[in-house]
Amino acid sequence: MESLLLLVIPLVILLLVVVMMYNTLVNRRNQVRYAFSCIDVQLKRRFDLIPNLVETVKGYATHESDLLQAVTAARANVAQPGASWTQEEMLQQQVQLLIARAEAYPDLKANQQFLMLQRQLSECEEQIAAARRAYNASVMDYQNSIGMFPSSIIASIFQFQPMPSFEAAVAERHPVDVKF
């Protein structure tokens, strides 16, 4: 009986350790998924604000139709199923260009609606950046969990796969060229 206890107790302890490691891995994987969905929420908010900005600027910047069309086209690309982060980045660049050009119009700069939209877009961009940082932090914790011993053994047994970090598009790594 005593020898049986000596066998069972270490097995129960080992099983508990495996269960705790597995649960930690599932928790971290779910944190990554949640952080990714938080980015989507912020991108949707920005996506909804853009038509208001375009309509506000349209009345003042009639000769900037090429830029307004580029913003509208970028927004349409993002709305397509399976849109990539690169397309989101292109939309962000077009909106930044639109705001920079729109600020050249004195009447528009004084327009309360434009100022409110510009403020909301700025806040939205800050929240998107914060959500991306949170996502990357979650990915790093998850990657560390599946890569470090002994949880790496559990991760390989249960086939936990690495997840990608968010990286800026190549175009975003260069300064934005704003021309009037």
169 is a domain residue: no
pLDDT of res. 179: 46
Return the pLDDT at 130.
Answer: 94
**pTM (2 d.p.):** 0.72
Mean pLDDT of 96-113: 72
Q: Give the length of the chain.
A: 180
The predicted-structure confidence for 113-141, as pLDDT tens digits, reads as follows 777 878 888 888 899 999 999 999 999 99
pLDDT of residue 61: 64
Residue range of the domain that includes 39: 2-161
CA gap 138, 89 in Å, rounded: 21
Domain count, the chain: 1
Closest Cα partner for 159 from 35, 36, 29? Answer: 29
Task: Place 180 in a pLDDT band, splitting at 50, 70 and 90.
Answer: very low
CA distance 150 to 94: 47
The confidence score (pLDDT) of residue 104 equals 72
- What DSSP character marks residue 64? G
Does residue 115 sit within a domain?
A: yes
Which residues touch 120 (CB under 8 Å, ≥6 apart)? 49
- Domain of 28: which CATH number? 1.20.1440.20
More confident residue, 100 or 14: 14
